[in-house]
Structures are given as C-alpha cells and as structure tokens.
Amino acid sequence: MATRSALINVMQKAATAASRNMLRDFGEVENLQVSRKGPADFVSRVDTNAERIIKAELHKARPDWGFEMEESGITAGNDPDAPCWIVDPLDGTTNFLHGIPHFAISIAVRDRGKITAALVFDPIRHEYFFAETGTGAYISGSHVNDRRLRVSGRRNPAESVFATGIPFLGRGAAEDHALFSRELANIMAVSAGVRRFGSAALDLAYVASGRFDGFWEHGLKNWDIAAGIMLVREAGGFVSDFESRDRVLQSGDVVAANPSLHAELLKHLAKARS
C-alpha cells in the first residue's frame, strides 16, 4: 500500500471538491449553458467552475505556487522559484457535453522544469490515479485501495490494444487527418485494436494501469498530458515524442507504451510519415 504524501492528499482533495458540482451537472447535461471556444473545442460553465474550485483549494494549500490552467492560462506564483500547478479541470469536455461518462480531472506539479507529482481523477468510476517521482504510480477508489500500477507486459503488437486521439477541425485539418489516417491504418494492421475514448489524461492513466498497451496523439497541451506521462513513467512505461525524444511537453506530441512495445509503436507510426 502507498503512503500518501501531503501533496497527493492536497491534489486529491481539490479534485474531489471540483467533482461534486461536475457530477451534479452531468446528470442535467441537457440544461448546461455552453459557449463555443473554437471548432470542436467547447467550454462550459462546468470547466470554469471546476477550475475555480481547484485553483482555490490548491492555492490555499500552497499559496506561493504558480498555475498553468486550461481556461485561465498562466498565473505567476508569489515565489518565482516555487513549483507550478498544471491543471485541466475537465479533460473530455466534448464527452461530458454529450452525456458520455468518460472524462477526468488532471493535476500535475512542475518543479524546475520537471513533472514531480501527478493525479488523474475519473469522477464517474471514482478512480484516482496518482504518482510522485521515484515512488511509483498507484490507483485508489471505491473498489481498490492504493494498488501499485504497472504497465502491461505484452510483447506482441498483435495481442495489444492501443489508444489514440483523432484530430479535430481547424487549421491544417486536411494534412492532420491524412497523417492520422495513415497512422491508424498502420497500427490497425499490426494490433488487436485501436480505441478512441476522448480523454488523453485517462488514456495515459490506462496505459499506466495496463488497460491499454500504448497511446499516441499529436498536438496536445501541457494540461492534457503532464499528469498522464508521469503516471506512465512511474508505472514502468516509456514516453517520448514521435522522434523518440524526451520533448513531449515542448512538442505536444506523445507516444507512450510499455517498454516492449514503445519502439515497435514508434516504428509503425514513422512509416506514416515516410
């Protein structure tokens, strides 16, 4: 069993507090006040309310720390050398707004350029995925108490299931969709299947827990993936960009898998660009 640090407890408390209104509104999704933020990129009062609650809880616990948040952007901390919270208050907004019960709250800590703590919370299944540097990754919830996470042990892509995200409408959409179609065809040809569930944070948490064997996507934001990539690494997996570099947060491009499949996944994805 994991020994919860004070920091993980703070993150869990913030995510739990934000989830209460979120779950209430999910039950009345048809009545939500929704505005358009961009093509296929919606923002609802659920996002903004959840972010406000999370920010208040985290600031109360660590008043000197800064924030990088999806809705309100970057807020400098009182101490410029202090860590920074990276928060996505609702990863899977489109799922939420369509009544699809698959979304998450993602919170990470960046300290001196490195992610040092992470939590992804699935309010529907009441599952907390969390990790800190060097201590491993864990899952806790109504059905399990702080169980250690491990990436899958599968070695054969033909027996493996991968997850991905589909590019949405926007600038360069034709090129993005053409590349994605080639990547998808390549992975489908060698795997047991590909899933698209609509929450990168949960996709990466599922890689960490061995539910998925790998995941890839282009053009993600820090708040989408900061917590998830740490979960995968602390669960024994590999995470890189598409050139096998440790530049995921800089590029927004992520390829994550267990150690036996990471190079194989990169190889088949690279064929789509050749």
Q: Is a pLDDT exceeding 90 seen at residue 43?
A: no
Cα separations in angstroms, 127 against 32, 48, 104, 190: 25, 22, 10, 31
On the question of pLDDT at 173 being above 70, the answer is: no
Percent of the chain surpassing pLDDT 70:
92
How confident is the model at residue 152, as a pLDDT? 98
pLDDT value at position 40?
A: 46
Domains of the chain by range and CATH? 6-148 (3.30.540.10), 157-273 (3.40.190.80)
- Quick one: what percent of the chain has pLDDT higher than 90? 76
Q: What's residue 214's pLDDT?
A: 98
pTM recorded for the entire structure: 0.93
Cβ(227)–Cβ(108) under 8 Å?
yes
- Give the whole-angstrom CA distance, residue 230 versus residue 150: 13
Beta 161-164 vs 193-195: how paired, if at all? parallel
As a whole number, mean pLDDT of residues 83-110 equals: 95
